[in-house]
Structure 1
Amino acid sequence: MAHLNYNHLYYFWMTCKRGSVTAAAQALFLTPQTVTGQIKLLEERLKGALFVRKGPKITPTELGQLVFKYADKMFSLSYEMLDIVNYTGQESLLFEVGVADALSKGLASKVLMSVMPDDERMQLRCIESTHEMLLEQLSEHKLDMILSDCALDSDKHDALFSKWLGECGIAFFSSIHFDKTDKLVFPACLEQYPLLIPSRRSALGRKLLGWFEELGLAVSIMGEFDDAALMTAFGSASKGIFVAPAIYMEEIMMDQRIRLLGMTDDIKEEYYVIFAKRMIQHPAVQRLCQSDFSELFSGITR
């Protein structure tokens, strides 16, 4: 049997993973014409069509699904090999972590710093994005781990694992100047001023909206934020009410303009670590899975 051109197979695999020739070409830094040509050569080699066009989209044929099944195993193993070589054969260990932008950065940084070795042999690289985008990058072996506010849907990602790290209640703050005559009964006072909340794309944002509805609160949403740090900064300088984990109450109120309106444990910001099976032996992932963060999430600092 003639030798198989693995570049052709890789371009086909990337097209399947990305969902289109255009998306694959962008990821490969090639033109769509080049990718299409390489896939055509692979089809000639395998003596069959790998894709069928249905309107604007292409989907794998029966042969394409079979080829993708084996290609996915092959290239996943190659990435796994590179990961293992990376953290066993180098003096400085690179640890690439995705952090969901909806999470509070202070707490996220404390979780990550807890796994950094004292000998400074680990280099931490953090990437911030949405939960969905980070999952995609993790599946494509571009990240080692994700720190997120959402649990993993194991039905959709059977090659990934997740571990619950902890949770903390939510507090509501504002820099509004209140008169002594203002009646600030929590949570009814949330109806009096516009709110700044996490985006409804985040788990915490959806929980908040459900909580408002459950309590029958007619709140006015002034802004939704993907980035928790930006929401806090904006809230500190605006005439609205903003949300933050309750364990940061003292830190936030060091700014004397900020006032605590109330807090609740009915809604909690949760933290999960998500990683691929290939990363189980990574020392940082092992430390995270073995660590007890109960003191951190209860607001105890060392």
Structure 2
Amino acid sequence: MLNYKQLHYFWAVAKAGSIVRASERLHLTPQTLSGQIGLLEETLGVALFLRIGRRLELTETGRLALSYADEVFQIGNELEEALRSRPESRSIQLRVGVDDAVPKSIAYRLLTPAMSLAEPVRLVCREDKLVRLLVELAIQRIDLVLADQPIPAGTHVKGFSHKLGDCGITFFAEPRLAAQYTDKWPLVLNSAPLLIPGKEAAVRIPLMRWFEARQIRPHIVGEFDDSALMQAFGQAGTGIFIAPSVIAEEVRREHGVTILGHTNEVTEQFYAISMERRLTHPAVVAINDTAHRELFANLDTYSRSPAETPTRVTRSIKR
């Protein structure tokens, strides 16, 4: 078993750059430090330092060990701080990873209920690629991942995907751009400039299949991993863009864009991924319950309609 005192001595020497400086900081003799690091290397069966004259240099293995030691002692400091906090001033911490593909507005709406609990919640959000966030979840650096898909097949993370809801997609364009495309829906998209989600977004493949099934060939002018950046380019008139229908009116108002049409045959799904089969964290329970009761239960009529009828859709949502 790893001796954490020896690991701390190794970490201190690596940070100080020499055994002498580390011994002064730790109030230990250089001989004690050298002996303890030697025992650690013997236990691990690897060399952590190269001794070049009076200098010490980390080996490749030593650099790897140092990166892990940094995390170990950072977490230790966080634990000490948490345990020393007064109970009456302590808040529930919720560490959430948000997949790049999840629109910021959807993430905000999903997370807001966690901030409305009777007990104070300290929310810590990180945004990254889903694969990297799942690794963080597996080593318990975060409590929850918000994503547009369940845990991908072949991912070596044993977690649970809790579906929060789904909805169709809506197409938007800057008003002057929209005025140039007046054909019936969805033929209006044929040859039109289009901004699409990046390859890692779950909606990307269903969207392209939908175009193919209708023999629609848009002119793709941009691909974006970040939905907010895609909307910014769309607002500037670079091309037509999509967003989940559940936030269609919000996108229209905030960006001053025109709604061209929608489809429910292509859907965006949203998941809360956790290490728990049954959700128990009070903030996560609030997120899950509100998503089912409110966010995805109160969709506009046009984003709930069971079929795509071009004439009806045009009348109900074109501005």
Determine the structure 2 residue equivalent to 1:107. 106
Instruction: Check the 8 A contact 1:165/1:273 in 2, yes or no.
Output: yes
Instruction: Check the 8 A contact 1:168/1:298 in 2, yes or no.
Output: no
Compared CA separation, residues 4 and 246, structure 1 to 2 (3 A): closer
Question: What is the SS of the residue equivalent to 1:114?
Answer: helix
Unaligned runs of 5+ in 1: 11-24, 32-37, 50-57, 59-74
1: CA distance, partners of 2:132 / 2:15 = 22
2: CA distance, partners of 1:7 / 1:223 = 53
Is residue 267 of structure 2 the alignment partner of residue 268 of structure 1?
yes
Question: What is the SS of the residue equivalent to 2:176?
Answer: coil
- Structure 1 window deviating more from structure 2 (156-165 vs 194-203): it is 156-165
Amino acid at match of 1:95: L
Question: What is the SS of the residue equivalent to 1:115?
Answer: helix
1: CA distance, partners of 2:233 / 2:104 = 15
Compared CA separation, residues 178 and 143, structure 1 to 2 (3 A): closer
What are the Cα deviations for residues 194-250 of structure 1, in whole angstroms up to 9, with x where unaligned? 111111111122322232233332222111111111211210112310111122232
Is residue 218 of structure 2 the alignment partner of residue 219 of structure 1?
yes
2: CA distance, partners of 1:113 / 1:139 = 24
Instruction: Check the 8 A contact 1:161/1:275 in 2, yes or no.
Output: yes
Compared CA separation, residues 179 and 218, structure 1 to 2 (3 A): closer
1: CA distance, partners of 2:177 / 2:94 = 47
TM value normalised by structure 1: 0.68
2: CA distance, partners of 1:254 / 1:187 = 22
Instruction: Check the 8 A contact 1:161/1:276 in 2, yes or no.
Output: yes
Determine the structure 2 residue equivalent to 1:230. 229
2: CA distance, partners of 1:88 / 1:154 = 43
What are the Cα deviations for residues 85-126 of structure 1, in whole angstroms up to 9, with x where unaligned? 779966122211111121121122111111224446111111
Question: What is the SS of the residue equivalent to 1:218?
Answer: coil
Q: Give the C-alpha shift of residue 192 in structure 1.
A: 2.9
Amino acid at match of 2:43: R
> Once the two structures are aligned, what percentage of the paired residues are identical?
36
Determine the structure 2 residue equivalent to 1:188. 187
Instruction: Check the 8 A contact 1:279/1:285 in 2, yes or no.
Output: no
Is residue 247 of structure 2 the alignment partner of residue 248 of structure 1?
yes
Instruction: Check the 8 A contact 1:176/1:240 in 2, yes or no.
Output: no
- Structure 1 window deviating more from structure 2 (194-203 vs 213-222): it is 213-222
Q: Give the C-alpha shift of residue 164 in structure 1.
A: 0.3
Question: What is the SS of the residue equivalent to 1:230?
Answer: helix
Within 5 A, what are the aligned runs for 1:25-104? 44-45=42-43, 91-104=90-103
Determine the structure 2 residue equivalent to 1:128. 127
Amino acid at match of 1:220: H
- Structure 1 window deviating more from structure 2 (178-187 vs 254-263): it is 178-187
Compared CA separation, residues 88 and 202, structure 1 to 2 (3 A): farther
What are the Cα deviations for residues 134-187 of structure 1, in whole angstroms up to 9, with x where unaligned? 112212322111111010147634532220000111010101526978542222
Determine the structure 1 residue equivalent to 2:57. none
Q: Give the C-alpha shift of residue 41 in structure 1.
A: 6.0
Determine the structure 1 residue equivalent to 2:163. 164
2: CA distance, partners of 1:216 / 1:285 = 42
Compared CA separation, residues 213 and 139, structure 1 to 2 (3 A): same
Determine the structure 1 residue equivalent to 2:172. 173
1: CA distance, partners of 2:289 / 2:41 = 48
Higher Rg: 2
Compared CA separation, residues 4 and 258, structure 1 to 2 (3 A): closer
Amino acid at match of 2:184: V
Determine the structure 1 residue equivalent to 2:292. 293
1: CA distance, partners of 2:267 / 2:95 = 27
- Cα RMSD of the aligned pairs, angstroms, is 4.3
Instruction: Check the 8 A contact 2:113/2:283 in 1, yes or no.
Output: no
Q: Give the C-alpha shift of residue 275 in structure 1.
A: 1.2
Amino acid at match of 1:5: N
Amino acid at match of 1:115: A
Q: Give the C-alpha shift of residue 291 in structure 1.
A: 4.5
TM value normalised by structure 2: 0.65
How many matched pairs? 256
Determine the structure 2 residue equivalent to 1:142. 141
